[in-house]
Amino acid sequence: MKSEAGTYARWALTCAVLAALTGCGRTATGDADRAAAAAAEAAAPASVSIQLPDPCKLHTDEEINAALDKMNNGWKLSQRTFIPFPDIGGGKCDIEARNEQGYTTHFEVSVMPVRTGSVMVGMYKGTRTPIPGVGENAFHVDVTYYAFQKDIIVGIALLGSGRESSIKLLKAAVDRV
């Protein structure tokens, strides 16, 4: 029965495409258009929804404070704020740290689906420096570190604490995705 339904959907789609290309089968009520739409819907794969993790929950306070300690200014985590990426899906966690003098600094942890985020990350293709041992495909561009893991891109933008801390945070995030 399953193969008959698949055969019918392919047959209906083929007929609808041929009718649309040749202009045949059109009536005043648009039966061919409705048939083409129904056939295309029946033949289309179900969309797959990717469950993206909350980037604000990919690191413990201890991991963040350890990265901040490398900056040698007494920085400590003060708050995390989730900011969505409405156009591409996912979002970023703006992580704020304060030091003893009351100054603040920020860094970001972002997650986005590969299907939309790879366009943005693809802009950096010529300037990527690979990072072995982190995720399926990890690299950095300037102070932003990226890793592809499953259907997700994880990014870490950490200013001032250096490569080692950024890679540790990226690996921890990738391991939790």
Domain layout of the chain by residue ranges:
2-43, 55-176
State whether residue 153 is helix, strand or coil.
strand
Question: To which H or E segment does residue 171 belong?
Answer: helix 162-176
The per-residue pLDDT for 3 is: 40
pLDDT digits (tens, 9 = 90+) for 79-127: 999 999 988 889 999 999 999 899 998 999 999 998 877 776 666 666 7
Global pTM? 0.67
* Helix runs in 23-94, H state only: 31-43, 61-69
Q: In the predicted model, what is the mean pLDDT of the chain?
A: 73
**Ramachandran region, residue 142 (left: φ > 0; alpha: ψ -120 to 50; beta: rest):** left
The residue with greater pLDDT, 31 or 152, is 152
- Nearest one of 170, 158, 176, 167 to 71, comparing CA atoms: 158
pLDDT digits (tens, 9 = 90+) for 36-51: 334 333 333 334 467 8
> Which residues are within 8 A (CB) of 76 and not within 5 positions of it... i.e. 6 or more apart?
65, 68, 97, 98, 99
Domain spanning 55-176, CATH class: alpha beta
- Nearest one of 80, 147, 81, 140 to 112, comparing CA atoms: 147
> Which residues are within 8 A (CB) of 41 and not within 5 positions of it... i.e. 6 or more apart?
none
